[in-house]
Amino acid sequence: MKFDPGRIQFRLTAGMVLASILGFGGMTAWSNFRMQQILIKGHKENAYEIAERFGQDVAWMDETMPSQEALQKVINYRSTADTAIWIRSPEGEIIAKSDTLEMGSWEKDGFADEIIQLPSTTQLSTIEVQDRQLIACIAPLVVNGTELGILFVIDDITQNQRSFATVNRDLTLASIFFIGLSAIVITLYVRQSIKPIRKMNELAANVCSDNLADTHLEFDRAPTEVRELAQAFNMMLGRLSAAWDQQRRFVSDVSHELRTPLTLVHGYLQSTLRRCNTLSEPQREGLEIAATEADRTIRMLQDLLDLARADGGHMRFHIERVPLKELILNTIEMCGYANDRVKVELQSGGIEARADRNRLKQVLINLIDNGVKYSEDNTVVTVRLKQEDEWAVIQICDRGRGVPMTDLTQIFDPFYRVDEDRSRATGGTGLGLSIVKTLVEGMRGKIKVQSTPGEGSIFTVSLPS
């Protein structure tokens, strides 16, 4: 199927995939953000709590032992591998510090030396030193109402941040995977939901006058909107079919009603022309023109009647095995064409077709007549007969004016003429080829035409043999 962004299938799929990207992506981003916030908040609270209690802890220890020792004891008690604590006196000296600062990971690259220089500004914040994320809680240390110096509680959260980044990455990968998975599921789901519409489209494209009455859309398991659309479509088809029937009946009735009086008129004109010797030349000429036009109109009405009957499925075919050689020779002889105007070429004798003898004669007469009409008198119209697999093939070839490529598909339409003025001059009705097509298809055969303007045409009729 061609990619088309205007398709409802594409729009629905894109919309739903976008929604899932926003859903999964947004959820992942939000949870990452919240986890980061919770992590930092937890560490900040921890550092703040240590700093807040530090004075009390020292005061409590101080009752039993000297102050320096109490400070060290509380520092040792509160510090961990990730938390370093030290106290700087108002003069800027380090009074006590945790062993953490001497641990390898803290001493490495002079990290401990660098952070010990941190300014004594009171703060509770996140800082970055040598690419390491730290929570710093710096506050004055007051023991029993006396300010001993500045307390530094530094929590190294680099490791936690790394673990968090790993979780973060896993979460992002998982959400990408789920977005991909949901895109596949959505595509399949939308395609499935759109299926009835596509089927409806196909059916609608194939509706023509022949199957109008029999076409009916049935979508029991389709979504409600599609079912409603199908129902509306069925009702429209019903109305169209009724209108079509009415039109056909009208054409048939009018043709029938006009044909009878016109046949009478034609008969009177003919007998007047035959019997009346007193007619002046202009009168005779006028009556002859009237008789020819009446004859042409009667033929057209008969053709219209035939077409209307065939369209309504009321045309009966008496299918039998017809020996084609005899039929072709018979037809040509019956039509009485001028000498050497129509020639027959037979591949071999004994070719038979399953057809209606009289209808097939009518087909041949129309096609040979056209060949003769639309070519010069000094050219030959050839009728070929051959067998091709299970088909008996009759070709009517002329060396006439041919049909332009653009008109080829339309010449089988009722009243279609390639060159209206020139075709009218031949006395045709414009219905001949429509009748031919209707009759051939009614006998389960096929008809096609090849033509080169200025060189001639080949009409090929294939009938089941």
Q: Residues in the site for ligand ADP, rule: CB under 6 A?
A: 370-371, 374, 398, 400-403, 411, 416-419, 423, 428-433, 457
The smaller minimum CB distance to ligand ADP, of residues 234 and 297, is found at: 297
Tell me how far, at minimum, the Cβ of 444 lies from ligand ADP, in Å: 22
Q: Indicate the residue among 51 and 431 with the shorter CB distance to ligand ADP.
A: 431
- Smallest distance from the beta carbon of 365 to ligand ADP, in angstroms? 11
Residue 335 Cβ vs ligand ADP, minimum distance, rounded to whole Å: 15
> Would you say 312 or 430 has its CB closer to ligand ADP?
430
Distance CA 187, CA 195 (A): 12
Our CB check for ligand ADP shows the closer of 172 and 395 to be: 395
Least Å distance between CB 465 and ligand ADP? 25
For ligand ADP, the closer CB: 156 or 303: 303
Which of residues 286 and 454 has its CB atom nearest to ligand ADP in the complex? 454
Distant-in-sequence, close-in-space partners of 405: CB < 8 Å, separation ≥ 6: none
User: Locate tokens 């006009």: which residue?
Assistant: 258
By beta-carbon proximity to ligand ADP, the closer residue of 214 and 376 is: 376
Q: How far is CA 424 from CA 97, 293, 367, 377, 404, in A?
A: 118, 12, 17, 18, 18
In SS3 terms, the chain reads as CCCCCCCHHHHHHHHHHHHHHHHHHHHHHHHHHHHHHHHHHHHHHHHHHHHHHHHHHHHHHHCCCCHHHHHHHHHHHHCCCCEEEEEECCCCCEEEECHHHHCHHHHHHHHHHHHCCCCCCCEEEEEEECCEEEEEEEEEEEECCEEEEEEEEEEECHHHHHHHHHHHHHHHHHHHHHHHHHHHHHHHHHHHHHHHHHHHHHHHHHCCCCCCCCCCCCCCCCCHHHHHHHHHHHHHHHHHHHHHHHHHHHHHHHHHHHHHHHHHHHHHHHHHHHHCCCCCHHHHHHHHHHHHHHHHHHHHHHHHHHHHHHHCCCCCCCEEEEEHHHHHHHHHHHHCCCCCCEEEEECCCCCEEEEEHHHHHHHHHHHHHHHHHCCCCCCCEEEEEEEECCEEEEEEEECCCCCCHHHCCCCCCCCCCCCHHHHHHCCCCCCHHHHHHHHHHHCCCEEEEEEECCCEEEEEEEEEC
CB of 422 to ligand ADP, least distance (A): 7
Least distance CB 264 / ligand ADP (angstroms): 24
Q: Which is nearer to ligand ADP, 44 or 417 (CB)?
A: 417
Minimum distance from residue 279 beta carbon to ligand ADP (Å): 30
CB of 203 to ligand ADP, least distance (A): 31
Q: Give the residue with the Cβ less far from ligand ADP, 141 or 435.
A: 435
* Residue 182 or 462 with smaller CB distance to ligand ADP: 462
Cβ at position 433, least distance to ligand ADP in Å:
3
Residue 362: CB minimum distance to ligand ADP, A = 12
